[in-house]
Amino acid sequence: MSRRTIQSLTVFSALLIIGVVITQIYWVKQALDLRHRQFNQNAHVALQDVAGKLASVNGVMQTSNPVEQLSPQYFLVNTNSTTQPDLLEHFIKDSFQKHNLITDFEVGIYDCTTNRMRYGMSLSTKNNDKIPTKTTNWIKTDKYPYYFGVRFPQQETYFAGSINGAIWSSILVLVAVSFFAYALFVILRQKQLSEVQRDFVNNMTHELQTPISTIRIAADVLNSDNIVAQPVRHKRYVQIVQDEILRLQGQVEMVLSMAKAERNALTLEKKMLNAEEMIRSILLPFEDKIQFKCRAENNMIYADPFHFRCMINNLIDNALKYSDDVPDVVIEAYSKGKCLVIAVRDQGIGIAPEYQKKIFNQFFRIPYGDVHNVKGFGIGLSYVKQIARAHHWRLDLESSLGKGSTFKITIPQK
């Protein structure tokens, strides 16, 4: 499956997930709105029924619209006469149960002589509990001399409980969508790992075949009869074999070291060494292609010589790979406080900001397209980071596109 197809499927799946979530939220909101309307209608009808019964008992004329809703939770009912609390309580509970309003509510009766609400009582159609409640903050009106108010303080809880089925179905849908999204993420991750594995195997095979081919050619030359008569040539080919074996050993050791570092089983054989002398010995095969500037007051560090050599070699290789036709690579060593800083600077193509954190990941290679002059199998900088971490050193990167890159290793000194 091509990358473009996977990207299209990912976008389409994401849109489907977003659509399902939005649809589910919309239907839950619609269900809540419907419950609100049904509740208000039932409350109006039930309270009108209560007003009619009170009017009949008190022998007064009932107004045409005795119920007024002043807020989503508060209803006011005109009675045109005084109201007995016990009778009101009985009528309200009976009417609410008749209209299926099984919820908690509060009742307050307006006293026109004192201009305040009295008889504040918290009741419920779910049980026979009666709890006094304050009515000082209840809304009052000057329209009617006699009225009572009803509040539903737990209205939202009532609505949520009435649509439990819709809420649970929404939760199940969201869980299913989450599992789908996770499965999609795993599939894409496995696809990425498969591509990384394939690139790693191809690049590693190439990198290992190069020194092996060189050793085989040199071995064929050394196996010839007339090479003994040419000591200079014989020595040169022996040196080639030794260099390629060291190169091959370094590549294999780097892969093994990465595997050990992942298992936290990497063992360092630290000892005191002179960083300047080590770097100069590393630069011998490069002749005058790389400049080395040492301005450090103290060049002694406590490190593993093999891994330190591999770190510097990897940074040099990285600088040369991503340089122009004529590499301009400089290595600097200088003191900074109680630390030795080793900086490998190039004037190459640089690294884009979006890749600067990723280049230290295993097997990651910047996608510059089909660039054959950039070799390696993608663990050089990851190896450098692992070794720096194992030594408790600091590794920093400064880079700009078209202006080159600088890798700095800050090494504490005792």
pLDDT at 317: 82
Handedness of CA 348, 349, 354, 358 (dihedral sign): negative
Task: Flag whether pLDDT at 376 surpasses 50.
Answer: no
Distance CA 241, CA 269 (A): 27
Cβ(261)–Cβ(304) below 8 Å: no
Alpha-carbon distance 120 to 243, whole Å? 97
Phi-psi region of 302 (alpha: psi -120 to 50; beta: other; left: phi over 0): beta
Q: Give the 3-state secondary structure percentages of the chain, helix then strand then coil, rounded to 5.
A: 55, 20, 25
Half-sphere exposure of 193 (CA within 13 A, CB side): 6
Higher pLDDT, 339 or 184: 339
pLDDT digits (tens, 9 = 90+) for 28-51: 778 778 888 888 888 899 999 988
Predicted confidence (pLDDT) per residue in 173-221, tens digit: 778 777 777 877 787 777 777 776 776 677 677 677 777 888 888 888 8
Average pLDDT over residues 89-97: 90
Q: Which of 100, 102, 105, 74 is nearest to 89 (CA)?
A: 105
| Residue indicated by tokens 């504040």 | 120
109, 91, 110, 103: which is closest to 127 by C-alpha? 103
Q: What is the pLDDT of residues 292-317, one digit of tens each?
A: 999 998 999 999 988 898 888 888 88
Amino acid 374: pLDDT: 44
Contact 407, 332 (CB under 8 A): no
d(CA 353, CA 357): 8
Tokens 């939005």 belong to residue: 22
Residue 3 has pLDDT above 70, yes or no: no
Answer yes or no: is pLDDT of 331 > 90.
yes
> 159 or 109: whose pLDDT is higher?
109
Confidence of residue 379 (pLDDT cuts 50, 70, 90): low
Q: Kindly list the distances between the CA atom of residue 203 and the CA atoms of 197, 198, 349, 364, in Å, as whole numbers in the listed order.
A: 10, 9, 21, 12
Averaged pLDDT, 259-264: 59
Which two tokens mark 81?
A: 């006469």
Burial of 15 (0-12, 13-18, 19+ CB in 10 A): exposed
Closest CA to 407 of 336, 335, 359: 359
Average pLDDT of the residues in 60-80: 85
- Taking 60 as the threshold, does the pLDDT of residue 60 lie above it? yes
Q: Is the pTM of this model over 0.75?
A: no
Residues 6+ away with beta carbon under 8 Å from 126:
102, 103, 104
CA angle at 46 for the pair 42 and 49, rounded to the nearest 5°: 145
More confident residue, 191 or 283: 283
On the question of pLDDT at 370 being above 50, the answer is no
- Of the pLDDT bands very low, low, confident and very high (cuts 50, 70, 90), residue 242 is confident
In this prediction, residue 368 has a pLDDT band, given cuts at 50, 70 and 90, of low
First-to-final CA distance of the chain: 55
Distance (Å, whole) CA 244 – CA 247: 5
Quick check: helix, strand or coil at residue 235? Answer: helix
Strands 329-336 and 290-295: parallel
What's the mean pLDDT when you consider all of the chain?
81
Query: How many angstroms separate the CA atoms of 55 and 253, rounded?
Result: 98
Q: What pLDDT is recorded for position 409?
A: 94
- Is residue 101 within 8 Å of residue 43, measured between CB atoms? yes
More confident residue, 236 or 192: 236
Strands 339-346 and 300-303: unpaired
